[in-house]
Structure 1
Amino acid sequence: MKTLSIDIETYSSTDLNKCGVYKYAESPDFEILLFGYSVDGSEVQVISLADGESVPTNILNALTDDTVQKWAFNANFERVCLSRFLSDMGVSLDPFADNHFSSQPLGKAKYLNPESWRCSMVWSAYMGLPLSLEGAGAVLGLEKQKLTEGKELIRYFCKPCSATTSNGQRTRNLPTHAPDKWAAFKAYNRRDVETEMSIQERLANFPVPELIWNEYALDQEINDRGVMLDMTLVRNAIIADVRSKAELTHMMKEITELDNPNSVAQMKQWLADNGLETDTLGKKAVAELLKTAPKPLGQALSLRQQLAKSSVKKYQAMENAVCSDGRARGMFQFYGANRTGRWAGRLIQMQNLPQNHLPDLEEVRALVRSGNFTALELLYDSVPEVLSELIRTAFIPKPGTKFVVADFSAIEARVIAWLAGERWRNEVFATHGKIYEASASQMFHVPIEEVTKGSPLRQKGKIAELALGYGGSVGALKAMGALEMGLLEDELQPLVTAWRASNPNIVRLWWDVDKAAIKAVRDRTVTETHGIRFGVQSGMLFITLPSGRRLSYVKPRIGSNQFGSDCVTYEGVGGTKKWERLESYGPKFVENIVQATSRDILSYAMQAQRCCDIVMHVHDEMVIEADSRMSTKVLCEQMSRTPPWAEGLLLRADGYDCPFYKKD
């Protein structure tokens, strides 16, 4: 046996969408109902475990045999669920055990070794295809598509049901309750394996490089390891939030005399009745209204702002996701952003945690953790704001260890300067590294010493750096908050002009990439610029990065943009979350290339630190659960090493250690 293609159907009373597969598979009532499989591409077999059938011994052995490659679509689900299934049977999950399938006590491993698992969803993502089996099958035009009745069958057999008189007050549907549906469910399970194998067959000419599978195995190790949560803090934060919301709602009712002051329609009407018209109560609009609103209206808007603090919902997400050992798992989706291959956040959504700026972070954390809500309300104006700033601190290292947090300094700015050959920027990164100050100095022709922290010039340098690197103009500056930062409307266009004038090589990179992509698509040829290769093969545009990894764009064509110029279009998931034809151009391709290269640099650093216990990573940052003796300085030095494929790129990593996660 060389390969084993798998799809399983499971039951658990735990909500998979809220809790993730790791907690789902821990549920006392978890079980596998159907086990569909194919050995080396042979006819699919379906084992009905719910009917008392057994998985053959050779298949069980294959699950723990690292010489057999296991395939599934979203393989993390199958691997974690089968780990629980085998553990319940007394099978050792230790990859170094001599005899895996036996009744000997469990080894140290909690989950099946990911090294021998392959995920056809990752393959789909690598090719720029949808991240669902149904979507990938549809785009590829497979003969055997996923059966559409599956959702109803999953709802019927895989989740608890409501007890009613007609169903005899049962809370679960079994095969005997609907034999016809059960037969359809088995056919659905068989078809899923067939569809997964068809995807592999269709993509056989575009294999995923072994390097990506190595990254995937590391990603799975990190997800399996998880990170510890301070559940005392989490639960008391939830209590504090409920209490705070009740008090804020009561205060709003007293001011507005509304039945439901959280209602947007009621609140807008109340404001209008009191002489304050507004079309929206969005975050930015409320912040603007607060500048001029008279006292009672301003009070109500301020209270509404606190009530709308949605970030505190992350505490609830933590309580949902935490496993029985106090660790949250499954927070990172490999290749979740398939345009660049970057990771995406799941469950607690690590990618958008609020920052912390409280000077007395440790003290206020202790107040919440101890449940001293009275002191909290006395000392701080906004309890929701405090709880928001404490979210990061809920992640803690296990006893006897510390967190080492290390991140790359200005990684995207360094990568784009390196690709474009923008000499003055590279000199900045080779010396002091103050890119905001240097950018302002370059744009406004003043000595860098005059651009001090907090000065208007530095502010302009910062906003220009954040907004303009990928072809952005006045709109990008506004979206980045330029007007809120104090810049005037008539300052914006000159800022764009000055930034582009001081970065001519980056501007040239945009349009060189634009020309190379258009030529590759129009002439079906291979082009190259700035060490980046463009080529079209079998209806795909591939962009080969300096790392050798390829970005994929489905069914590229030459279209016409809003200015009447030629542009590249391709198919993908757009802003509507639907599969549609999208338009791109040089600066947007450059953004993909820079972000993808930055991702490859983080991945290179993570592979180099694989022997360490990496528990989290976000964009350009890595968090390690480390021995208290570990040197943060040495880790940063190792992280700053340039990959062999990026000669001349200047990297710098900064780090700190802490007893709980935070922004330093």
Structure 2
Amino acid sequence: MRTLNIDIETYSSVDLAKSGVYRYVEAEDFEVMLFAYSVDGGPVHIVDLANGEVIPNEIEQAIFNKEITKWAFNAQFERVCLSKHFKQHLFPDDWRCTMIWSAYLGLPLSLEGAAMITGADKQKLSEGKDLIRFFSIPCRPTKSNGGRTRNSKEHAPEWWENFKEYNKRDVETELAIQERLSKFPMPEDEWENYRLDQLINDRGIKLDLEFVAQAIKCDVLIRSELLSRMKEITQLDNPNSVMQMREWLKEQGIETDSLNNAAVMHLIEETDGEIKEVLQLRRQLAKSSVKKYTAMENVVCEDGRARGLIQFYGANRTGRFAGRLIQVQNLPQNHLPDLEEARELLRQGNFEALKLLYDSIPSVLSQLIRTAFVPIRNNKFIIVDFSAIEARVIAWIAGETWRNEVFASHGKIYEASAAQMFKVPIDEISKDSPLRQKGKIAELALGYGGSVGALKSMGALSMGLEEEELKPLVDVWRQSNSKIVKFWWDVDRATKEVVRERKSRTTHGIKFEYRSGMLLIGLPSGRWLTYVKPRLGINSFGNESVSYEGIGATKKWERIFSYGPKFVENIVQAISRDLLCYALKYVHEEGFRIVMHVHDEIVIEAPKDVTVDYISDLMSESPPWAKHLNLRADGFETDFYKKD
């Protein structure tokens, strides 16, 4: 036996979508009901555990045999559930995931989606959702079902047989997907990255549950007070209703099409008295959300740690990670100067002191969300992130000499960019200089082909720039970064030629190939970006460009048009991701406990004697495939998670 393909069906009263698999398996009523397996791609067998059958001894031994590779679609679920079933932790070393392999090739992260795109869906899988809903989650007690809270085989024998068939078909579908993906193997380095990702997810990160409980309690109290005051002024039944609030404002002589944050902010500036107060209260209520805190309570395991927060290959265009459950990738920033004092007041439940000290308690609660993550006793967090990673990567690949010199020395790219653009000495550009502001907004908005629209969406006008300044700013940035601009259009030309002629091209050390209906872009790390079914066509601007199939802005599978600068953005973000993976591996191999990573930042739970400089030096080490890239990582230590 060399491989074992597995799919299971389970039951738990814990909501899997809200709580994740690690909390899901901790329910007292958790059980594995069906176990389907295939040995070396052979016939699929079903073990009906719910009705007394047992997993064959040789299959159980294979599950614990590190020489035998276990495959599953979303293998994390099978591995964690079977660890609970066997009461023995299964490490990810010998597990591989068909879902991750599919994502590596630009396919959807769902079994149905991957099967549809690869043509592996021999039979419809849609009825499986109804069967899962019936057997795998609690049911509502009614008179007609005798008040039961769970459905089992005796309640629907025919459905149970269908459920077993569905379980079997999932393994058959996974095998068919693997067969179709076999022309595009995932590099072993990527499987190593996946295994480390699973170890980090298994380890999890500790939550301060007392603090979380007080935050939820405070939010309920403050929300009630805000609503009461709004009702008192407006006499509305539900002043949080958009329709009711618009009607009330209309009665006060104010008409508005929207009550989103920007519209409310504008109205606050234009009004006074009770109208202004109501709008300010509404804005506070909009911030008054404990979704992150309640997500923490939903996810946390019995040992006080939250697990499964990071999705490997969550962004399958670039391979970047995504957040799950608590969504650590989009936590609010913290700007409170007395963050530690505010946190302690909240933890003590001293809400009156908070109300005296701060104008907006919802804003305080929002800024304190990060601080719910804490290290174990006698440890600290060391938080280190890459400095201007994408700007460094694009300069390195494009060969933009002046930028590489900046990153090899002082690293002040905003000041240096302004100096380059406006031909003034860098020493004359201070942190508060208007020129630095122009350099900063240009750097943030223009690196991937952005123009006036990109500057506006980055907030150029609200930062004080005038409309007539924007186009000249675009022009001068592009003139100052001519090699980056050349990189965009060299990539644009290479992708078109490869799709048209189906021959390989290389530019700036990046490989472009067409293979078996895929556009492949080879990165310096050895990893490939994959674009499904590419073809040339005319885009909405009337220009010839490459399009491919993928998950678009609508979150649906669709044809997406792209062009040079957009492909460059994918390439740069993908290389930045590979640098993070290299750093994660390096730090892990040095024996440090990584508990979380967010964007370009690593969070380590470390003993008190470990220094920030040591971890920063580890992260600043360039991989062998990027020897001349000027990396820099900076960090700090703290007793709770925060943004420095």
* TM-score range for the pair, normalised by the shorter chain length: over 0.9
Q: Give the deviation of 1:400 after TM superposition.
A: 1.3
Matched letter for residue 642 of structure 1: S
Q: Give CA deviations for 1:357-392 in whole Å, capped at 9, x if unaligned.
A: 111111110000000111111111100100111111
Q: Distance in 2 between matches of 1:486 and 1:233?
A: 40
Residues 426-435 or 440-449, more deviating: 440-449
Q: Contact 1:408–1:621 (CA<8 Å) still a contact in 2?
A: yes
Task: Say yes or no: does 1:598 pair with 2:563.
Answer: no
Q: Contact 2:102–2:114 (CA<8 Å) still a contact in 1?
A: yes
Q: Distance in 1 between matches of 2:416 and 2:273?
A: 43
Q: Give the corresponding residue for 1:550.
A: 528
Q: Distance in 2 between matches of 1:281 and 1:228?
A: 38
Q: Contact 1:533–1:543 (CA<8 Å) still a contact in 2?
A: yes
Q: Contact 1:339–1:551 (CA<8 Å) still a contact in 2?
A: yes
Q: Distance in 2 between matches of 1:295 and 1:413?
A: 47
Q: Distance in 1 between matches of 2:163 and 2:262?
A: 49
Q: Distance in 2 between matches of 1:521 and 1:398?
A: 53
Task: Say yes or no: does 1:305 pair with 2:294.
Answer: no
Q: Distance in 2 between matches of 1:555 and 1:562?
A: 19
Q: Give the corresponding residue for 2:333.
A: 355
Q: Distance in 2 between matches of 1:482 and 1:313?
A: 31
What is the DSSP-based 3-state SS (H/G/I as helix, E as strand, rest coil) of the residue aligned with 2:274? helix
Q: Give the corresponding residue for 1:104.
A: none
Q: Give the corresponding residue for 1:635.
A: 615
Q: Give CA deviations for 1:394-438 in whole Å, capped at 9, x if unaligned.
A: 000011111000000000000000011111111111111011111
List runs of 5+ in structure 2 lacking aligned partners.
none
Q: Distance in 2 between matches of 1:223 and 1:466?
A: 32
Q: Distance in 1 between matches of 2:518 and 2:505?
A: 14
Matched letter for residue 371 of structure 1: G
Q: Give the corresponding residue for 1:108.
A: none
Mapping of residues 513-524 of structure 1, within 5 Å: 513-524=491-502
List runs of 5+ in structure 1 lacking aligned partners.
88-92, 94-110
Q: Give the deviation of 1:455 after TM superposition.
A: 2.2
Q: Give CA deviations for 1:561-608 in whole Å, capped at 9, x if unaligned.
A: 233221000000111111110000000000000000000001000010
Counterpart selection for 1:613 from 593, 602, 623:
593
Q: Give the corresponding residue for 1:124.
A: 102
Mapping of residues 207-226 of structure 1, within 5 Å: 207-226=185-204
Matched letter for residue 68 of structure 1: I
Q: Give the deviation of 1:292 after TM superposition.
A: 1.7
Counterpart selection for 1:625 from 605, 614, 629:
605
Q: Contact 1:312–1:391 (CA<8 Å) still a contact in 2?
A: no
What is the DSSP-based 3-state SS (H/G/I as helix, E as strand, rest coil) of the residue aligned with 2:290? helix
Q: Give the corresponding residue for 2:392.
A: 414
Task: Say yes or no: does 1:322 pair with 2:300.
Answer: yes
Q: Contact 1:11–1:32 (CA<8 Å) still a contact in 2?
A: yes
Q: Give CA deviations for 1:273-331 in whole Å, capped at 9, x if unaligned.
A: 22222211112222222222223222111111111116631011101100000000000
Q: Give the deviation of 1:655 after TM superposition.
A: 0.8
Mapping of residues 168-567 of structure 1, within 5 Å: 168-309=146-287, 312-567=290-545
Q: Give the deviation of 1:353 after TM superposition.
A: 0.8
Q: Distance in 2 between matches of 1:608 and 1:460?
A: 37
Matched letter for residue 190 of structure 1: K
Q: Give the corresponding residue for 1:101.
A: none
Matched letter for residue 577 of structure 1: K
What is the DSSP-based 3-state SS (H/G/I as helix, E as strand, rest coil) of the residue aligned with 2:313? strand
Q: Distance in 2 between matches of 1:654 and 1:145?
A: 53
Matched letter for residue 511 of structure 2: R
Q: Give the deviation of 1:18 after TM superposition.
A: 0.4
Residues 557-566 or 149-158, more deviating: 557-566
Q: Distance in 2 between matches of 1:450 and 1:305?
A: 40
How many equivalent pairs are there? Answer: 642
Q: Give CA deviations for 1:452-479 in whole Å, capped at 9, x if unaligned.
A: 1122221111111111100111111111
Q: Give the deviation of 1:265 after TM superposition.
A: 1.3
Q: Give the deviation of 1:351 after TM superposition.
A: 0.5
TM-score, with normalisation over the residues of structure 1?
Answer: 0.95
Q: Give the deviation of 1:143 after TM superposition.
A: 5.0
Q: Give CA deviations for 1:165-197 in whole Å, capped at 9, x if unaligned.
A: 111111111111100000000000000000001
Closer, same or farther: CA 47–193 of 1 in aligned 2, 3 Å: same
Matched letter for residue 211 of structure 1: D
Residues 488-497 or 426-435, more deviating: 488-497
Q: Give the corresponding residue for 2:14.
A: 14
Q: Give the corresponding residue for 1:59.
A: 59
What is the DSSP-based 3-state SS (H/G/I as helix, E as strand, rest coil) of the residue aligned with 2:142? coil
What is the DSSP-based 3-state SS (H/G/I as helix, E as strand, rest coil) of the residue aligned with 1:507? helix
Q: Distance in 2 between matches of 1:232 and 1:484?
A: 40
Q: Contact 1:146–1:192 (CA<8 Å) still a contact in 2?
A: no
Considering only aligned residues, what root-mean-square deviation do their CA atoms show, in Å? 1.0
What is the DSSP-based 3-state SS (H/G/I as helix, E as strand, rest coil) of the residue aligned with 1:243? helix
Mapping of residues 35-184 of structure 1, within 5 Å: 35-87=35-87, 93=88, 111-145=89-123, 147-184=125-162
Matched letter for residue 616 of structure 2: C
Matched letter for residue 214 of structure 2: N
What is the DSSP-based 3-state SS (H/G/I as helix, E as strand, rest coil) of the residue aligned with 2:643? coil
Q: Give the corresponding residue for 1:650.
A: 630
Q: Contact 1:312–1:384 (CA<8 Å) still a contact in 2?
A: no
Counterpart selection for 1:575 from 541, 546, 553:
553
Q: Give CA deviations for 1:237-270 in whole Å, capped at 9, x if unaligned.
A: 0000111111111111122221111111111222
Q: Give the corresponding residue for 2:639.
A: 659
What is the DSSP-based 3-state SS (H/G/I as helix, E as strand, rest coil) of the residue aligned with 1:136? helix
Q: Contact 1:2–1:67 (CA<8 Å) still a contact in 2?
A: yes
Q: Give the deviation of 1:272 after TM superposition.
A: 2.2
Q: Give the deviation of 1:145 after TM superposition.
A: 4.2
Q: Distance in 2 between matches of 1:67 and 1:230?
A: 40
Matched letter for residue 60 of structure 2: L
Q: Give the deviation of 1:149 after TM superposition.
A: 0.6
Q: Distance in 1 between matches of 2:582 and 2:515?
A: 28
Q: Distance in 1 between matches of 2:430 and 2:289?
A: 33
Q: Give the deviation of 1:340 after TM superposition.
A: 0.2
Q: Distance in 2 between matches of 1:199 and 1:309?
A: 44
TM-score, with normalisation over the residues of structure 2?
Answer: 0.98
Q: Distance in 2 between matches of 1:482 and 1:385?
A: 25
Q: Give the deviation of 1:146 after TM superposition.
A: 5.1
Closer, same or farther: CA 189–530 of 1 in aligned 2, 3 Å: same
Q: Give CA deviations for 1:196-215 in whole Å, capped at 9, x if unaligned.
A: 01000111111111001000
Q: Distance in 1 between matches of 2:405 and 2:108?
A: 41
Closer, same or farther: CA 328–143 of 1 in aligned 2, 3 Å: closer
What is the DSSP-based 3-state SS (H/G/I as helix, E as strand, rest coil) of the residue aligned with 2:269? coil
What is the DSSP-based 3-state SS (H/G/I as helix, E as strand, rest coil) of the residue aligned with 1:308? helix
What is the DSSP-based 3-state SS (H/G/I as helix, E as strand, rest coil) of the residue aligned with 1:186? helix
